[in-house]
Each structure stands twice: as structure tokens, then as C-alpha cells.
Structure 1
Amino acid sequence: MSVTTVVMIGCGGFGRYHLGNILKMRDSTKVVAIVEPSKEMIERTSEVFKKFDIPLPPVYARLDEFLKSGPKTETAFIITPHNMHFPQTKACLEAGIDVLLEKPMVMNEKEALDLIDARNKTDRLLVVAFPGSLSSAIHKAKELIAENAIGQVVQVAALIYQDWKESQKGKWRQVPQISGGGFLFDSGSHMINTVVDILNDDIDIVFAIQDKKDTPVDICSIITAKTTRGILINLTGAGFSIGCDSEIFIVGTKGIIRTGAWGERLEMRREGEKNLSPVKFGKSKGVWEQFLKVRSGELENPCPPEVGLRFARLMDMINASADNEKVVIKK
């Protein structure tokens, strides 16, 4: 089996989480470099490598330094603050590097369009790391809907909740110039993307109410929407709660599918059945394993940059509705 080389760009908490999964896959992946400006994060990253008895690879404070003098790499995994996603991804693509990019892809529609243009010009691979879109559970849910297992889909009810307000207080995720938004743009993006992915339909009408809870960004959100095919959607983002979890119910005329924003579960209840029952789906080692499958041609890219553009445009509608306290209709 060939081994894919990767540079890890960003080694904060989520970066180290993904790194731990990647280091378990040493038969298929080799981390050749780290790009991280924080000495504290580098020290914590070193501990992750020690756990797997692997030497810490070369570390670079800046991406441009790595691209100029670092070891050659086939791929990059970018897990940095949101405002850095666009310039770092564009630089990697233009350097001939395939990219797995942490969600949300970019800060706005313009950056999304420019990144699609860069992907097209360089002919490199770009996958957005939405775990839902990359999960076997969501792929299976889409198959069931296509097979008419629950009849015509008529409504969706989704909730994501987390102790986000307190856990992110004083951190970059609550600085809009860096984060691009609040709870809905961050953790809530998983819920929004998974719902839209499952339905495979455009959202035409949005009405949103948001509450910042005395912070600079949205914390609590309620969104009511309608798709082109007439499916009604209710999305709740509760960032002033406990833990971190989600629920998504796809309601059909002949059944119901229950899943989660990350594709962490899949259940179904058909007409005539009394309870939801588990649906079998393939297990995954995470987004990196799925990225490798896309790169090898084993799996069609389920999360190209067009997914990031779709999310950016939908967030523009949600924000416009919340800011102006009115229904927004897609032009």
C-alpha cells in the first residue's frame, strides 16, 4: 500500500484530535511537517507524537516558510481559524497540493467562488471536512430516501446544542473578524450542511431569529425554511446549553429517519412499525480516511468546494433575515 504524505496546518485542539486519528493510520499516511505558530500548541502536539512513538516532524511557524523550504508533500490538512482558510488553501492548491479543509470552508461567498476558481485552475483536489457529508450514515440515509423508504419527504426538524457560549468565551471563535460568525457558523454548520446534503435541494425561503446573549456573535438561533421542492425545515442552534450533541429527524409520508449532524447515528421507522430501529452503515476512522478514499478514486468527492459555496450563500440568507427581522427569499 502506498503511503500518502501530509502537512498538518494548525494544531489546536481539533487539529490534535485529527492528528491522533491520522497517526493510527501510519500504514497509509506519513505526517512530514507541522505548520503552527504557537509554542504551547507545538508542545502539546509533540505529546501526541510521543504517544505513538513517532518523532515530531519539522515544525514551521508560517505556511509560506514551509512551502518555500519544507519537505515535499502530496496533501495538506488545514485546521486553522476560519479567516485563514481561504489564503492557506489557495496557497496549497497553487503549490500543487491536494487539500482537506476543516469546516466552514471560508468566511463568505466571494472567498468560496475564488476558491472554486483556484481548484479549477490548479486541477487539484479540495475536500471540505464536514463529517456528516463524509459519513457512511448520511450516505445511507440519502440512499433510503432515494429508494422511497419513507415516502415523500415533507419536513425536517433539527437541533444542535452545546456549552459553546461559556467554553468559547474570550477565544477567537467569538471574534467575528476571525470566526466569521457565532455558534451557528461554527458547530451549527454541521447541522445545516447535513440537513441540506440529505435533502439535496436548494433552500428558497428563510426566516431566522437570533440572540447573541450579550456576546459579539450569535449564540441561539431558530431558522424556519422552505426548499424548492416545498420541504419545510426547522433548525435550532442552542449555543447556551450543556455538552455537545444533535438530533435530525427527516419526516416522510411513510416513515421517519433519525440521524445526527455528524452522521453519528442512523435509525428509521417505517409505516406500520411502532419504534425507530437502528440502520446498519459502514464505520469510518474519520474524515482523513474518507479523504484518502476520494483521492484514490474509491469514493466520489461528497464534499467539494461547491458545498462550501452553498453553505456561504445560505448563511447570507440567514444573517440577512435575522439582521432585518424579515423573511428572505432567494433571488
Structure 2
Amino acid sequence: MSKPVRLAVIGAGLKAAEYARSWVRMPEIEFVAAADVSEASRRRLADICGAAGCKAPRDFDDFRVMLAECRNDLDAVYVSTPHASHAEQALAVTEAGLDLFLEKPMVTSVIEARALIEARSKANNVAVIAFNGALSPLVQDTYRRASAGEFGELVSVSATIWEGWSSQYNGHWKQKPELSGGGFMFDTGAHMMNTVCLLVCSEFERVSAYMNNYAKPIDITCAVAARLENGALVTFNAAGEGPPGCASHMTLFYSKAIVRIDAWGAWREIELNGKSSTREIAEAAHLENPLKSFLRIRRGEEENLSTVENGLRFARLWDAIKRSAAHDGESVRISDIG
């Protein structure tokens, strides 16, 4: 068996702790170091490792110090911090020549996306964005079949996502714009936008968007109408307030098929040439442990569809949505975004 991947964590919060409980039992990885401004979060991660009979990772309150001191003892870094921190930390990991597994959304702007792509090109490292959808076998199969022309030409897309997000995260960093980079559309809605960005196989051309903040400093609901360069039309609806729970439903209309799928790639239904299929369900392991996909990609066993390049398409869309919403739905041309 090959040596385990020596992994560091930047951001040892609740998401990292949730994953660590299963990751620490994987023989394919070894937790080497962890950086977080919270001592309690670092201690929790150390306790998780200890409970599994593993050595606690080296402990740092500054990710820069961790990268400087541990660079030669690492192979890859998982970044799980508030969204606005992603760009700086992902760049630092990439410039250190380490492979990167970065929580969604990739970055908060086109400028940051371009900087990360440039750094990745120079370092030639592996960079995977932890979007469950792009790493889902059902989404990947849909992408390949659509790209091969099996479904015919894309006509339009209708995508919706909803969650009792406003109440659930009241007072949380996700509702502080200086940390989050956006509201519900940029947080949970990022899964919807990213999966659509991948599946449409086209750049966006124009976007018109409306948001309602419901007296909060970030968007709670968002409605978007867009046109792709290939001529297809796309609508997004993100509803961040409502009953408990979270779900999504996306329908892609093609000239030969209708594909219904959720943002995370957990299920799919296909109508092809007038014949319907039963609902397909993805294996839970693909959704609950995306690190396995990262490791397969790193070994060259799986194509990486969750790329920094798709992250740039996502960033262009998000910048256009923000600009349009700030001007009461005025249509924004993506080429003006950069």
C-alpha cells in the first residue's frame, strides 16, 4: 500500500470536525497539522484524532506559520474557513506547491478566481473544489452524456433551492458580509449555481437578478434570469427562509431529453426520447465523504470536474448577479465582468 497522504487543515470549525470523524479512520491519509484562530476548534480536532488512536496534528493559530514550518512534511491541505478567507489561503497553499482541497464556494470574486488559476498554472498542483455536485457520479455522468450530444441541444434550465437558512444561521458568520461574501444565494445556493455552471457546457452571456434581504445585511432570497452563449435560457430561484429543511430541484430541458437532478447530485431522473427512467440515487459515500473523490483525482483515477476553471465561470456569474441586483435587475453583460 502506498504511503498515506500527509494532510493539513486550515479552518478546524464544525464542517472540518464533521469530516474529520470519518477521515481520521481512513488509512489513505494522515493528519499532520491544523491551523485555526480558535484554540477550542484546534483542540476539538486533536481530540477527534486521539479518540481514533491517532497522533494529534501539530497545532497553529496562523496558517502562514503552519505552511512555513510544515511545508516539507505535507502533501495536501484542506481549507474550510469563512468564504472571504478562501482566496488568500488557497493562494498560499498553491504557492507552497501543495495540493489543494478547497471548500465551496471557491472564492468571492472574478479577480480572486483569476489569481488562483494563475497560481495553480505556475505550481501545476492538484486543486479540487469541494462541491458535492461536481464530485457526484450522477452529475458527472450527466455532464459527459450532455457533452457527447446524447440529449441534443440544451434549450433551457430551471433551478430552485430552498432552506430555512435565515433563521437557522441568524447571527452566524454566514450572515456577516465581510466574512461570507454573500447571503443564501452564495452559501447554499452556491451548490445550485456551480452544478448548473458545469452542466450547461457554456459560458453565461447576460444576467438579470433581484434580491431581497429581509432587513438583513445579506440576501435571503434571489431570483435570476440569464442567457447562455449557446442561446439557452436559465432561471435560478433561491429561497433562504421557510420551514426547516433544505432541498433543491433542477430541470434541464434538451431537444431530446429532460433531466431532473438536485444540486448535490444526490438523485436524478431522465426522460429520453419520450421514455422516462426511474429515480436514480447516488451512494451516500459520495456525498458524505468528498475527500475520497479528491484522493482518486490526485491518484489520476478520476477526472476532476470540480476545477478552478469552473470556479471562474461561477465567479463571473456571481459578480454579474450582485451587479444586476444592486441596480434593480438591470441586465449585465458577462463580458463586462472580466
- Report the TM range for the smaller structure's normalisation: over 0.9
Cα deviation, residue 50, structure 1 = 4.3
Cα deviation code 1:152-205 (max 9, x no counterpart) = 321111111112111221121111111111111111111001011011111112
For residues 284-323 of structure 1, the aligned pairs below 5 Å read 284=286, 286-323=289-326
Counterpart of 2:220 in structure 1 is 219
Counterpart of 1:106 in structure 2 is 107
| Alpha-carbon distance in structure 1 between the residues aligned to 2:185 and 2:24 | 31
Structure 2 unpaired stretches of 5+:
none
Cα deviation code 1:274-330 (max 9, x no counterpart) = x54134767636321111122112223212222222111111111111111212223
Q: Which amino acid aligns with 1:254?
A: K
Q: Match for 2:250 among 248, 260, 264?
A: 248
Percent sequence identity over matched residues? 32
**Residues 278/144 of structure 1: CA separation in 2 closer, same or farther (3 Å cut):** farther
For residues 112-151 of structure 1, the aligned pairs below 5 Å read 112-151=113-152
- Residue 250 of structure 1 aligns to a residue whose secondary structure is strand
| Alpha-carbon distance in structure 1 between the residues aligned to 2:107 and 2:147 | 30
Counterpart of 1:329 in structure 2 is 333
Cα deviation code 1:214-256 (max 9, x no counterpart) = 1001110111111111111111111112311111111223332
**What TM-score do the two structures reach when normalised by structure 2?**
0.91
Q: Is contact 1:141–1:266 with CA below 8 Å preserved after alignment?
A: no
| Alpha-carbon distance in structure 2 between the residues aligned to 1:47 and 1:236 | 41
Kindly indicate whether residue 52 of structure 2 is the aligned counterpart of residue 49 of structure 1.
Answer: no
Q: Which amino acid aligns with 1:100?
A: F
**Residues 51/261 of structure 1: CA separation in 2 closer, same or farther (3 Å cut):** farther
Counterpart of 2:79 in structure 1 is 78
| Alpha-carbon distance in structure 2 between the residues aligned to 1:132 and 1:265 | 10
**Residues 148/278 of structure 1: CA separation in 2 closer, same or farther (3 Å cut):** farther
**Residues 57/86 of structure 1: CA separation in 2 closer, same or farther (3 Å cut):** same
Counterpart of 2:12 in structure 1 is 11
Q: Is contact 1:269–1:277 with CA below 8 Å preserved after alignment?
A: no
CA RMSD of aligned residues (A): 2.0
**What TM-score do the two structures reach when normalised by structure 1?**
0.93
Cα deviation, residue 31, structure 1 = 0.9
Q: Which amino acid aligns with 1:291?
A: F
For residues 25-44 of structure 1, the aligned pairs below 5 Å read 25=26, 27-44=27-44
Q: Is contact 2:105–2:190 with CA below 8 Å preserved after alignment?
A: yes
Q: Which amino acid aligns with 1:253?
A: S
- Residue 277 of structure 1 aligns to a residue whose secondary structure is coil
Count of matched residue pairs: 329
For residues 162-311 of structure 1, the aligned pairs below 5 Å read 162-241=163-242, 242-273=244-275, 275-279=276-280, 284=286, 286-311=289-314
Structure 1 unpaired stretches of 5+:
none
Q: Is contact 2:142–2:199 with CA below 8 Å preserved after alignment?
A: yes
